[in-house]
Structure formats: C-alpha cells, structure tokens
Structure 1
C-alpha cells in the first residue's frame, strides 16, 4: 500500500484522505481525478461496518458524528470503528476537529443506543432524544470543544495508527526549520562521497547478526526522499536506545553509492536525537505572545506548561507583542527548562505554532 501511495505521489497524483461522505470500500477516483483513500484500508474497519455506513449514506450525507452514530448499526459500527474513522481523517468533512469528535464519541454512541432502544420498545424518551444534529439551534459539540487540541505529531501518529502511514503531513514538518540548523541538506539534495549530517524519521530498522555482533540498517525518510544507513556494531551498541521506529534522528557519517542497487547510503559514525542536538546548542526558548492574549487564564496555562519542564539549563524569554512594538522579558532562573520535544508540542498548543522558537548560538 505504501509503495502504491508513494508511486502515485511521484506521478503527481493527489491521494486524498478517506471520506465518510464519498469514499468507497476500495480506493477510487473522484470527479477531479484525484485518488480517494479506500475506507477498507482503514485499520479497524471491515466489510460489516463499511456496508452499514454506505447503506445509511444512501439516505443522504451525514451531518455530524451524532447523526452518523444514529443512522448506522451500532453492532457493526462500534466504538473501535468510529475511533478509526475519526483518527484516519475520514470524518474531517463534518467540519469538526478530530480531538473534539473523539471527546464527544462516548455521548454520541450512548445517545444513538438510547434512541435505538426506545424505538425498538415503541416508546418516546420523556425528555426527548439526546441525539444532536447539525440543524440544532445549539452547537452539538459545544461542551467538547474544550478538549485539548492535538499537536501535529499526535495527529500524524493517529493517522499512522489507523492508516498504517502518515497522510496529511510528515513528522519532519514540525521541526523542519530547526533540523536544518544541524543538517542543512535534505535527503534529495545529498551527494555521494561526502561527509554529512543527515536528519530523518526512522521508517524501518533491520537488525543483522555479524561476526562482530549485531548491526542495523535504517531506512530514513525526511519527506523529500528516503535512504538507507548502515549502523555497525560499535555505533549500534552505543546508541541502540535511540534507534527506534518513528523517531527523528541525526546521523553523521560518510555517504556512498550502494554497489548493489545504485542508491545513496550512509556508513554511520554517530547518532543523536534532535533533543540531544538541541540541548547542546540552544541558547534560549523564545515565546512571542500578543499582549491582548495575556490574562489570568493564559498565565495559568503557560505556567503549568513550563512547570512540567523546569530544572534544565535553557532560559525562557517572553516577548510581548503590541501594534506599536514589543518588549522581551527574560524569566528568572527558576523557570529554566529542559528543551524537550514534549515541551515544544505543549507550548505550540498553548501559545501557537508560530509563537514558539528555540534560539541557537550563532
């Protein structure tokens, strides 16, 4: 499946996310000649749930998650199937964030089960049905919109869990500008017979037993291309804990052409995680915040987020931005943090993607 998807992209064809409104069991081509991901390729779905969805869809498009639950057979379209639909992006056309729908899922299922039970018993609910629809006067998701938003990595990991791959983006995108401070060239720009630092996501790891001990062959992907890297026993033993699938790593080594298939490979000398590289070079964490956003609720959220990472050596600088200018305030030493990926994700949710920056030594 991944091979066909990548081939489609190389041919300039767009692979669209699965769709609850127009998707079919198998991959299909829409009216704009774009490939639509098949519902049958979503993990956790089978012919039973998909048949129930397609049959219900004949009566018209779904207006909400609540409507979907009410119109499908709960014995077939169960919680597992609905979670997979949400995480894959198949319900994005309903116009609600995935984390909001996941927060509303329990109540949507309960409401549909209650309505089905009442209908089967031939009775009406004394207080009316609890199934919300898009036509309701009030926002059916109002109480669930307070759910914590997902970071890009969380969204992509949910896609991989349900689809087997990232579809709406690449994990490197969240760190692209920072990664280029350590690895200036992307994989597609690399040339053989050079010493280089390569950054990429570990897609696959093959462990090989040799006379000198175990070694590994990594498949790296940075969104621009893929390459293999050989990690021999001494390096493999030293950095084994860093060599995990779906982790972004920085490899330093010699680039060469594989004699067997002619592709570019690396003989790896050192391995670092992005966090390790950041910790060695970062000079400060800088947060740019519009002054009108600063209130008691914002201060509480920011303090709680920073407090989870205090105890490090990285100072935090707050830049308060106003229309006529800005002012930077360096927080006290008690607020110095560990510059982790987890902190970056939480701050992007709290402050905004473009408001968080690691500043590096020149």
Structure 2
C-alpha cells in the first residue's frame, strides 16, 4: 500500500478513537475494573454470587466456567436448601448456596411461595412439615421430586430414595391436615406423622437425578472414586475441552445416553452423551471406533475418550478412541 493510503486508514482509526475511546469512556472502565478487582479480592464469595446470579443458568457456558473457577479457588458450592436458599445465590459461612430457582421444573411462583411460607411460619422442621404447609400452594408430586433430586432436603438427614418413596404418604398427610385453601383441619401437635418409607440410595442414580434437576452435579461425582485411575492420563475437564483448539485431547465422563444407528453401508455407529463435574458433551463414534468399543458403551459406565472437538457442530466431540476406565 502507498503512504497516502496508509495515512488515510490511520486518520480514520484516529478519528474513531477520538469518539469511541475518549477519556471519560476509558476512565469509567478503569474505575469499574478497579471496583471489581477490589470486590473479587476482599469479598470473593459475594462477588461470585453476583456473577453467577447474573448468568442465564447451567446451560450458559460462562456459568459453568465461573463455577469451575469458584471450585478452583476453594469456595464451597452447596445444593439448594429448602430452609436457606432464596431467589438468587446467597453466601453462608463462606460457601455459595444454590437458589431454588435453579431447580428445573420448579417455577418461580412456587419458589416465591416456599420463601413466603418459610418467612411467615418459620423454617420447615422436616419433610412432612414442608409438604403439609405447601398443600395450600398446590405443590405436586413432580415438583417435590425435583426438589428432592436437587438435594434441597439433604439437611433433614433422610436418604433421597426414602424421601422419593415417601412423597405420596406426605401428600396424604398434608391433605389430612390442611384444606386446599390452607386452613388447618387437624391441629399439627396432635397429629401423628407417617413413617418414612426406607430405601437405600444409589449414589450414581442420585447424581444422575441431581444432574437432571440442576444441570450439573454439586453434591459429588462418580468420578471422585476413580481419581487414581484418571490421574494416569492427561485428561482435561469437559468444559475446557469445549474451548480447546487442540487436534487431540482426552476427556473422562460417565455415559448418560447411548444411541446406535446404522450408516448407509449398514455398519453401526453411535452417539453418546457423557458428563463430568464441569458439564456434559455429545460424543460421535464412527463405525470403526464403535466396532472396537461397543461392548462397554452402556449407561452409567465411565469411559475415557480420545479425540477432538467438531468445529462445525456445537458441543460435539469426535472420538478417535474410546476406552472403559479400569476399575
């Protein structure tokens, strides 16, 4: 390019800079950056509570990235709590407590009702007390189940499986005590609560249900018990794999779904969805790779996948090799 063309382009840039990056504009950003840096340094949990509260939820990539950052900083993240959670993230004893709004299938109106009832009548004393007092708000079996799956009743120290098995008994008990308009029919102190239907928890099933209810796992991970095996390999988190440009990488996850189809040539291939602590990802397994791995491609199996991200399709990982994680 000639000198005159270069000067003409520079003059255009300079002219825009005079407006687009004027001093007042720059000063505002500088002040904001300093304020955020101060808050992040001295009020770290509160800072992240605000950041997470402003995101669109677990389907937002930035949300999961922020959660991973929180974990790396050693800040505890706690499941929703029926007696402590609010409409947004709150900080309690340095930990972040998930809001009830994060539970899928539990609408905002019900969350508002739970908080209102808790404020008016005091904390819920147990699972039966919660169901009984929420009868007036027309709470249903599915909503209670989602709250159980999210871990909202864990502080009552009753297994989630037992709570799920007791939902119908609790609803009958609540209907016996309260009318549909919330008027007490039988005085609570003189009523006999039913017993919990005892059932043993399956940790993997609980985590799977928790993922369905919240879009992520908070209380634990099936991979926690496999850390010795995982550390043998250069594995990265699924959330990091999504952003990586590497031509080959390794991820480890639990198989959530398996779908097998036949190609035009009649050979089978598969599509998986796997998840780890940071999120989930779809895996495409072409025919040759599928032929070597089909025996262990089953739901809840933990697998190590070597491959790369498909840049043409969002959240799709192409598997060059897939191996069952050894026991």
Q: Same fold (TM over 0.5)?
A: yes
Alpha-carbon RMSD across the aligned residues, in angstroms, is 4.5
Aligned to 1:155, the other structure's residue is in SS state helix
In 2, Cα distance between equivalents of 1:197 and 1:9: 18
The residue aligned with 1:41 is: 102
1:86 aligns with 2:119: no
**1:87 and 1:98 in contact (8 A); partners too:** yes
1:168 aligns with 2:227: no
Bigger helix share: 2
Bigger strand share: 1
- Matching of residues 131-150 of structure 1 within 5 Å: 132=193, 141=195, 144=197, 147-150=198-201
Change beyond 3 A, Cα 1:200–1:207? same
**2:216 and 2:279 in contact (8 A); partners too:** no
The residue aligned with 2:235 is: 187
The Cα offsets for residues 128-187 of structure 1, whole Å up to 9 and x where unpaired, read as 533x3xxxxxxx65x53xx2311221221121232222221112223444x45xx82251
The Cα offsets for residues 41-83 of structure 1, whole Å up to 9 and x where unpaired, read as 2122112322221111012111011111222235522211111
Change beyond 3 A, Cα 1:248–1:55? same
Aligned to 1:187, the other structure's residue is in SS state coil
Aligned to 2:199, the other structure's residue is in SS state coil
In 1, Cα distance between equivalents of 2:184 and 2:270: 64
**1:17 and 1:37 in contact (8 A); partners too:** yes
1:62 aligns with 2:116: no
- By how many angstroms is 1:114 displaced? 0.8
Match of 1:234 among 277, 288, 297: 288
- By how many angstroms is 1:39 displaced? 0.9
The residue aligned with 1:200 is: 253
Change beyond 3 A, Cα 1:188–1:71? same
Number of matched residues? 252
In 1, Cα distance between equivalents of 2:130 and 2:184: 22
1:151 aligns with 2:205: no
- By how many angstroms is 1:209 displaced? 11
1:8 aligns with 2:67: yes
Change beyond 3 A, Cα 1:148–1:7? same
In 2, Cα distance between equivalents of 1:226 and 1:83: 23
Structure 1's unaligned 5+ residue stretches are 133-139, 279-362
1:111 aligns with 2:165: no
The residue aligned with 1:249 is: 303
In 1, Cα distance between equivalents of 2:180 and 2:272: 56
